[in-house]
Structure 1
Amino acid sequence: MLAPLALVGLTLPGCSELLTEGGAAGAGLGGAAIADVVGAGATTTTGIGLGVQAGVRAGLHYAQRRAHAAAQDRIAAAAGPLPVGAVAAWSITHKVPIEPDERGEVTIVRVIEAGSIHCKEIVFSVDATSRPEEMPRRGFYTAYVCRDGQAWRWASAEPATERWGSLQ
């Protein structure tokens, strides 16, 4: 039951909410059904079902956080070499489509340097669509990136819960 639901959810870009809720509900029902088959009582069956559901939901949230971190890494890498006022494109294509592919632009607002700390304040756009044939909706966000050796890394909390909901 859960495997077909997960496969359907993974093939539909932008359906992470369906995957999250459907997968968790399917896992809860599947866990309860297994517990019932092995002869567990109602309380134990409910507990097993809720435990499996919580595990699936935690796994999906983990995968979504990894997808968000990958997008942040792409934005930081595009922003790192830029001087103030320059603009660069960024994009992310997720290997597992748990989140929609995104693209946009990033610019440097200011450079912040103190001792060995080298950071940049950025403004970036995200052009997102639910379907490839749609015109993208553009959102703008601010963040900070800092140099970590040769790489530039995301250095601020998620800029807006509107972008990814309450999941951070």
Structure 2
Amino acid sequence: MTAVAGWRRSASLTLLAAATSLACSACSSLYSEGAITGAGIGGAAIASKVTSNAAVATGIGLGAVAAAKAGVQYSERVVHRNTQDSIAKAAGPLDVGGVAPWSIVHSFPIEEAAHGRVTVSRAISTGALDCKEIVFSVDHDATRDKAAASAFYVASVCRDGENWKWASAEPATDRWGALQ
């Protein structure tokens, strides 16, 4: 087998592993490790074609891994932001004490679909800056091995025009520089 054929086979197996990891729900760690491993293999293959200098090859490999890791982290933030927006959307129209269900099915299935309940515990401000403190649950359905359970969290949401947005400082929240 030639070096090119071996590289093509490795690349094909890496792509197959990446596709498989994307196809399964709740495969966040497999997705992350698959993407980073694939980048490492791809970076090594590119480096071997570009240079014979070990330092340059190492730099290419590290750059590919860093880019893959940044891409994985970005996609995870998008999934978290979508979940937070779903909760904020359900909480926005509620009065203090009102309860509503929330749910999300991710179009990019690196995390399981989620659901729960949300209530408004207090109005933080009204008028030009309309914000609420919420308490929400993430409900886990009963399985053959585990009873149903809920985990509870506190957060803040604020009105942004017609929409309600997550306002708590979380990894999926956009950063405000030195203000956070």
Partner of 1:22: 34
Does the 8 A contact of 1:100 with 1:128 survive in 2?
no
Question: Greater CA deviation, 10-19 or 33-42?
Answer: 33-42
Question: Greater CA deviation, 19-28 or 55-64?
Answer: 19-28
Does the 8 A contact of 1:5 with 1:22 survive in 2?
yes
The answer to whether the aligner puts 1:46 opposite 2:46 as a matched pair is: no
The answer to whether the aligner puts 1:8 opposite 2:2 as a matched pair is: no
Q: How big is the alpha-carbon RMSD for the aligned residues of Structure 1 and Structure 2?
A: 2.2
Q: 1:138 aligns with which of 150, 157, 162?
A: 150
The TM-score with structure 2 as length reference comes to 0.79
Q: Could you say if the C-alpha distance between residues 112 and 59 of structure 1 is closer, same or farther in structure 2, counting changes exceeding 3 Å?
A: same
The answer to whether the aligner puts 1:61 opposite 2:73 as a matched pair is: yes
The answer to whether the aligner puts 1:82 opposite 2:94 as a matched pair is: yes
5+ residue gaps, structure 1, are 160-168
Q: Could you say if the C-alpha distance between residues 32 and 4 of structure 1 is closer, same or farther in structure 2, counting changes exceeding 3 Å?
A: same
Q: Residue 108 of structure 2 aligns to a residue in which SS?
A: coil
Q: What's the % identity of the aligned pairs? A: 51
Distance 2:149 2:47 in 1: 45
Q: Residue 130 of structure 2 aligns to a residue in which SS?
A: strand
Partner of 1:95: 107
> Which whole-Å deviations, capped at 9, do the CAs of 1:53-83 have from their partners, x for residues lacking one?
1101101111110111111111000000111
User: One-letter code of the match for 1:5?
Assistant: A
Distance 2:86 2:130 in 1: 18
Does the 8 A contact of 1:109 with 1:122 survive in 2?
yes
Does the 8 A contact of 2:21 with 2:30 survive in 1?
yes
Q: Residue 71 of structure 1 aligns to a residue in which SS?
A: helix
The TM-score with structure 1 as length reference comes to 0.84
Deviation, 1:128, is 4.6
User: One-letter code of the match for 1:37?
Assistant: K
Deviation, 1:18, is 1.6
5+ residue gaps, structure 2, are 1-10, 172-180
User: One-letter code of the match for 1:57?
Assistant: K
